[in-house]
Chains A and B, each alone.
Chain A
Amino acid sequence: MSGAVSSLNRRALRATDATTEPLWVRILLTAIALSFLALFLVIPLIAVFTEAFSRGADVYWAAITEPDAWHAIKLTLLAAAISVPLNVVFGLSAAWAITKFHFRGKQALITLIDLPFAVSPVVAGLIYVLLFGAQSWLGPWLSDNNIKIIFAVPGIVLATVFVTFPFIARELIPLMEEQGTSYEEASLTLGASGWQTFWRVTLPSIKWGLLYGIILCNARAMGEFGAVSVVSGHIRGQTNTLPLHIEILYNEYQFAAAFAAASLLAGLALITLVVKSLLEWHHVREREKAVRAASQQA
């Protein structure tokens, strides 16, 4: 009896052996992967903060509070503060139309929403220069009416809106697709208005997905370099965002100051990653709860 069991066990062991690698291979592969990760991701991250404080905290503080840097920080926050809410409104309305209704050209609409991801940042900046620049068709009219878009703040905001355009819609569309329309229909049947249904039924069920989209959108909005660089004109204290400020300092060999400015954006990236994994963790837990509740009902 015991002999039969142990031979079964041995066979089971052999089966698992065949579906995974020997221990030394597993350790070797993990070690290679982790050392690449350390080399390419961890060391750069440590380097940003080490270099930023290489000349001491005083130099660091001075580099961040210096007027041009301070202006760049404010402009970066402003661009994000305008583009993120705009993309939230757009993302919500596009996702509502796409996921709750059937209409012709839906696929084309989704493809167009994805377009900014396919466009390289410099080209994104270029298309706004072609549209609003001094040599464009709109150029003479704009200068007659004293409206400055290119080499001014509106251009920076527009370029930021463009590159962050798909983030929220893309996050919401699969989520709302999955949820279907039955809850909204139930709410309407019970006499709620359209807006009540949206605020009380739809929004609570997508809030985590929306938040996820917002932090990704915000990270990109504050960090965008190429597109903003094209439309900004690099005017110090006027049209410099934080990423552009870093480039100027780098070109002037002010490395400690460049890294000080970079450390702010690296901190933002770290916060983004932490919030992102918290949201993912929350999502998995909600899922498990829903599965458990469903199995209890059954």
Chain B
Amino acid sequence: MLPGFKLSLGLGVFYLSLIVLLPAITLVLQTLEISWDEFVFYLTDPRLIAAFKVTFAAAACASLFNGALGLLLAWILVRYEFPGKKLVDTLVDLPFALPTAVAGLTLSALFAQNGWLGRWLVPLDIKVSYTFIGIVIAMLFTSIPFVVRTLQPVLEDLSPEYEEAAASLGASRSQIFRRIILPHIRPALLIGMALSFVRSLGEFGAVIFIAGNMPYETEVVSLMIFTYIGEYNYPAAAAVAMLILAASLLLLLVIQVIQSYYGRRHRKI
């Protein structure tokens, strides 16, 4: 029996209670103080409902696109050889290392009408900065690594025997992909996309720079909470925060269920 159980557990639980538990309980208590009518009143504000629609739609677009891009990136990183592969592998983590404010500032400058990327979109009549597309791009950027990093280990584990067996039995490459590879990597792909979705729901720093933050159009829920706090409307902020927190926790629970169902714990966030 090793020593230090009481000390380490005590210290860990004390610190956890102080930093995480106490504030979290305060949020719950604050929400419980709100009467049901008030709760409904806060949550049926049309401006808030519009923000919810924008946030969920943008997060869904971003995580769908991330699913495709992440699958492609993980695929070439695991299966193919090309010069600079190590560098590419390192670069994938950039969105996690780069502060969101820097990401937001840079993306909004790049996609502005006279920006490096935005000017090519002007003739096509596509506006990115201060529109819904801008929100999607900001969310997309900040969650790129999730799908790649959950898929990579699973693709590496996939031994070639199954593909060889399928090929020797006459399956075409696309059949092998659809019938053998895709079913094997589907849970990891779903988990990666769900993590990316959760992250996008709460994203704030990157989004507010590029969104333009027009009420009813390009305002996200995080910004609504921020605005309520600025107006000292704490009950409304707590009500909305509880709702978005519940949505995130529910999704994370689903992820846990998928993970334990498939019996392995993939690489974490």
Which A residues are within 8 Å of any B CB, using their own CB?
14-15, 17-21, 26, 29-30, 32-34, 36-37, 39-45, 47-48, 51, 86, 89-90, 92-94, 96-98, 100-101, 103, 109, 112-123, 125-131, 133, 135-136, 158, 161-162, 165, 170, 174, 181, 184-185, 188, 194, 197-198, 216, 219, 222-226, 229-230, 243-244, 246-247, 250, 255, 258-259, 262, 265-266, 269-270, 272-274, 276-277
Contact = CB atoms under 8 A, between A and B. Distances in A.
Contacts of A161: 19
Contact of A126 (B82, B86, B94, B241): B241
Given A26-B80, A51-B109, 12 more contacts: A18-B163, A18-B167, A34-B88, A96-B4, A112-B16, A225-B100, A243-B100, A244-B101, A258-B105, A265-B99, A270-B97, A276-B97
Contacts, number: 277
Interface in B148-200: 160, 163-164, 166-168, 171, 173, 176, 198
Interface of B: 2-5, 7-9, 11-13, 15-16, 19-24, 26-27, 30, 69, 72-73, 75-76, 79-80, 82, 86, 88-103, 105-107, 109-110, 116-117, 140-141, 144, 160, 163-164, 166-168, 171, 173, 176, 198, 201-205, 208-209, 222-223, 225-226, 229, 232, 234, 237-238, 241, 244-245, 248-249, 252, 268-269
A188 B2 contact: yes
Contacts of B97: 219, 269-270, 272-273, 276
Contact of B12 (A93, A126, A272): A93
A223 B99 contact: yes
Q: Is the interface of A mostly helix, strand, loop or mixed?
A: helix
Contact of B101 (A97, A100, A113, A262): A262
Contacts of B107: 44
A229 B226 contact: yes
Contacts of A26: 80
Nearest to B265: A174
A270 B86 CA distance: 15
A48 B20 contact: no
B234 A133 contact: yes
Contact of B102 (A21, A216, A266): A266
B13 A42 contact: no
Best-buried of A121, A170, A185 by chain B (most CB within 10 Å): A121
A89 B173 CA distance: 52
A37 to B, nearest CB: 6
A-B pairs, 6 with minimum CB distance? A120-B202, A223-B99, A18-B167, A225-B205, A194-B3, A94-B12
B26 A127 contact: yes
Contacts of A225: 99-101, 204-205
B20 A112 contact: yes
A127 B23 contact: yes
Nearest to A50: B116
B75 A262 contact: no
A97 B222 contact: no
Given A20-B79, A34-B88, A109 B26 contact: no
B16 A113 contact: yes
A142 to B, nearest CB: 14
